[in-house]
Chain A
Amino acid sequence: MIPEIGHFALVLSFAVSICSATFPLYGYFTRQQGFLATAKPLALLQGFALTVSFGVLIYGFLAHDFTIKYVAANSNLDLPWYFRMSAVWGAHEGSLLLWVLILSLWGVAVALFSREIPVHMSALVLAVMGIIGAGFLAFMLFTSNPFVRILPFAPPNGADLNPLLQDPGLIFHPPMLYMGYVGLSVAFAFAIASLISGELNSMWARWSRPWTTVAWAFLTLGIALGSWWAYYELGWGGWWFWDPVENASLIPWLVATALMHSLAVTEKRGLFRSWTLLLAIAAFSLSLLGTFLVRSGVLTSVHAFANDPERGVFILGFLVVVIGGSLALYAVRASKVSESGEFGWISRESFLLFNNLILTVMAVSVLLGTLYPLLVDAVGGGKVSVGAPFFNAVFVPLTAILVSGMAFGPLSKWREADDPRLYRPLIVTMIVSVVIGLAWPTTLGGEYSIATAFGVTIALWLAIATAVDFVNKTRSFGGVGRTFARVERGMFGMWFAHLGVAIIIFGIVMVENHTEHRDLRMGVGDRQQLGSYEVRMTELSVLRGPNYVADQATFEIYWGDRLYKTVSPQKRRYNASGMVMTEASIDPGFTRDLYIAMGEPLDGGDWAVRLSVKPFVDWIWAGAFLMGLGGFISVTDKRYRQRAVEKQTDSCVEGAKA
């Protein structure tokens, strides 16, 4: 009976989404306030219905209701409760439900926090989100319903959750990522709403800026969590694989990053309007495209959900309607946008335009690299794959160029061709960075690495330039505390995020060029040198987990004569699925991770063991965390907090801030 409540709530929310997709639009075109006013209550009702539906599915997992097909396929009596929770979004149907739930919650947020936005505008925004919701709910109800029952022959036990997904990382990674993906729908909806209404001034940019930044911050954290999960759970010890599904999240991220910066120009100076609109459409369209790629089976990936061409056709049709429709609307309307205002060739506008170009080229390259196998296959060229070499060849130089823009940009001023003296501090910082960067590899021992020298120089330069900008600006605002409390939260966001980029670059350069990595044969009593540590295997044992059996090796790690740590990596075999998983042991550290994983059993009772030292690998995720944090800080900026009381006419006259 209870699953039917969830099913009913899902059908109800489909009906509600059809209403919220149509009523406000009807009200807008016939100028009837009554219909426009339905948008917000409908959004709240939608959020309620989907919360109920999602809650019921969680209940189904917690209560082991194997009459629900989705539960039976993805849970098991032995699965611990917290993994049963995350199993809710562990496969196709449930993750779609999470997707629409998050969409509806963004809708609720728009309904609640849009008091200062004209009614017709917020109604149009909610209508666009309603259309998206209706499409996804139809997709769920007709092809991927999570509430389908197996009656009367319910299985006595479930098939178990894919062991790869039985991990704390999966509890947070998808919700974070979806918050980002789906959050971009708000910026998209604002862009479409202003294209519909023809009010293509910079107001829409001001309204959608905080939404975009929050979505971007979630997306950043979601991608970072995914990378972290891949690092310690997939057992390969890498942090990024250029897998199609990773790329599918990176492409919208790059475009959303461009969008955030472009929105600043549009809001402050009224420039790049049609470009910003296009980015807003593209960012969300590429999120949708990612969904299509993951769920239709057109590309193979470790992340891919069950392949199903019927679902693929449905999503493709939906993409054509939503993306094709918005690009057509864009084409019709954007030609009427008049771009006013001028800017010097060295000004903040030009730096932001430059940043946009680089980020767009990056996004297009990733898209091409991801789709290339599909394109070649479609024209009969057989199966090919594009790997890391292509992406690295594109990303390394582009990142270097981007960083120089990030160093100069914040120092520049709006509008005028700047006084070159403004950039004098950068010359000094650059010299300092080059000197330290060139010296750095000599401290590492081994062969001198030019790549490391170059990468460290870049990262250091960005970090120092950001610090210089921080010192200058906070001094002119009267101190750090005062700046943070009163003046410019947005500035802090930028400093955090840019510093985060510098930290990520440093981490990547170090881990890619200086990982020490050995595959060895080890038995009980064997000793191996690992960096400055000695690793001894002391025990091999077999353990029984709640739903798996594990071979476990115990290693003692010595620093000189002192026992530093004991770790126990495992090789698990999950009972229900028979899948074998590697549980690596990772000793995280500020300057390095020690990584020990069990490979295959060898004859004579020994094991193949993988030992690595990964220098500064955690800096990658720390940097990403800092970027996300920067995003969240910047939306607490006072102009968003006080917007309700401010008059909204000051958009184009504010001075030098981003």
Chain B
Amino acid sequence: MSRWVVWVPLAIFAVLVGFFFKGLTLDPGSQPSALIGKPVPSFQLTDLHTGKVLTRQTLPARPFLLNVWASWCITCQVEHPYLTELSDRVPIVGLNYKDSETAAKTWLAKLGDPYATQIFDPSGRLGLDLGVAGAPETFLVDSRGVIQLRIQGEVNDRVYQHQILPLLETLK
């Protein structure tokens, strides 16, 4: 076998490694973090209680939490008391996700309603635009409607103190 041919596989591999290294720094698709720094996607949905039309413009004009929840979600029940406690400190907008109206209302009547507004999203349309993988998820949105942080799973005191609060203070 000739001397140089045996080096060809190594050379091909070296070129591939170069591409892979470049590939690692590129974003292949819409990763969850891609929404951070972007405004909340536009939407046109109704308020669960009043039936009024809600859009991106009706969101609070100060930093708030957007909490994605549903009555079928067990962890949402777990984080509910903490959200109730938190609602005194920061406004919480609910996004009732892939749920039925009666189930959601019953749930809130039973456990209490910490939400400033309740966006009703039975088809999960806004959830899809937000890249929601499952409930609960919570987004920290600033006064201009730009997403600053995404929390997947339960919000508790630890998450609030370590992740939400530091960012929230810089926004105020």
Q: Which residues of A contact B (CB under 8 A)?
A: 153, 155-157, 159, 274, 278, 281-282, 285, 292, 296-300, 307, 309, 312-313, 316, 319-320, 323-324, 327-328, 330-331, 334-335, 337, 339, 371, 374-375, 377-378, 383, 549, 573, 575-579
* Chain B min CB distance to A636 (Å): 34
Choice from A282, A323, A334, A383 contacting B6 with Cβ under 8 Å: A334
B17 touches A320 (CB 8 A): yes
B13 touches A297 (CB 8 A): no
- Residues of A within 8 Å of B72, CB to CB, are 549, 573, 575, 578
> Does B89 interact with chain A (Cβ within 8 Å)?
no
- B16 contacts across to A, CB distance below 8 A: 371
A159 touches B9 (CB 8 A): no
Which of A296, A327, A337, A549: most chain B CB closer than 10 A? A327
Q: How far is the CB of A253 from chain B (nearest CB, A)?
A: 19
- Give 27 CB contacts A-B under 8 Å: A155-B75, A156-B78, A159-B75, A292-B20, A298-B23, A299-B28, A300-B28, A313-B24, A320-B17, A324-B13, A324-B17, A327-B13, A328-B10, A331-B9, A331-B10, A334-B6, A335-B2, A337-B1, A374-B19, A375-B19, A378-B19, A378-B26, A383-B28, A576-B73, A576-B75, A578-B98, A578-B124
* Complex alpha-carbon distance, A320 and B7, angstroms: 15
Q: How far does the Cβ of B14 sit from chain A's closest Cβ, in whole Å?
A: 7
Residues of B within 8 A of A (CB): 1-3, 6-7, 9-10, 13-14, 16-17, 19-26, 28-29, 31, 70, 72-75, 78, 97-98, 124, 133-135, 153-154, 156, 158
The complex places the Cα of A312 from the Cα of B17 at a distance, in Å, of: 12
CA distance A579 to B19 in the complex (A): 35
Known: A153-B156, A157-B75, A576-B74. A312 touches B24 (CB 8 A): yes
- Cβ contact within 8 Å between A578 and B28: no
Determine whether the beta carbon of B9 is less than 8 Å from that of A278.
yes
Min distance, Cβ B9 to any Cβ of chain A, angstroms: 5
B24 touches A296 (CB 8 A): yes
Residues of chain A with a CB closer than 8 A to B7's CB: 331
* Given contacts A577-B134, A578-B98, A327 and B10 within 8 Å (CB-CB): yes
Choice from A331, A335, A549, A578 contacting B134 with Cβ under 8 Å: A578
User: Contact: A578 with B97, CB < 8 Å?
Assistant: yes
Q: Is the CB of A316 within 8 A of B13?
A: no
Given A156-B78, A375-B19, check contact A578 B135 (CB 8 Å).
yes
- List the B residue with the shortest CB-CB distance to A156: B78
Having A274-B1, A316-B21, A576-B75, one finds 11 other A-B pairs with CB under 8 Å, namely: A156-B78, A159-B75, A297-B24, A299-B23, A299-B28, A309-B25, A328-B10, A337-B1, A371-B19, A375-B19, A575-B74
Q: Which residues of the partner chain A approach B26 to less than 8 Å between Cβ atoms?
A: 298, 377-378
Closest to A77 in B: B74
- Nearest residue (CB) in A for B154 is A155
Q: Looking at the complex, which one of B6, B70, B154, B158 makes contact with A331 (CB distance below 8 Å)?
A: B6
List the A residue with the shortest CB-CB distance to B159.
A153
Complex CA–CA separation, A296 to B134 (angstroms)? 23
- With the chains together, A153 CA to B75 CA distance in Å? 13
**Smallest beta-carbon distance B163→chain A, Å:** 14
- Chain A residue contacts of B73, Cβ below 8 A: 575-576, 578
| Given A378-B26, A578-B135: A307 and B74 interface contact (C-beta under 8 Å) | no
Contact assessment for A298 and B24 in the assembled complex, using a CB-CB cutoff below 8 Å: yes
A298 to B31, CA, bound (A): 12
Residues A578 and B70 in contact, CB atoms below 8 Å apart: yes
- Nearest chain A residue, comparing its CB with the CB of B74: A157
The interface residues of chain B lying within 8 Å CB-to-CB of A309 are 24-25
Contacts of B14 in A (CB 8 A): 324
Query: Which A residues touch B19, using CB under 8 A?
Result: 371, 374-375, 378
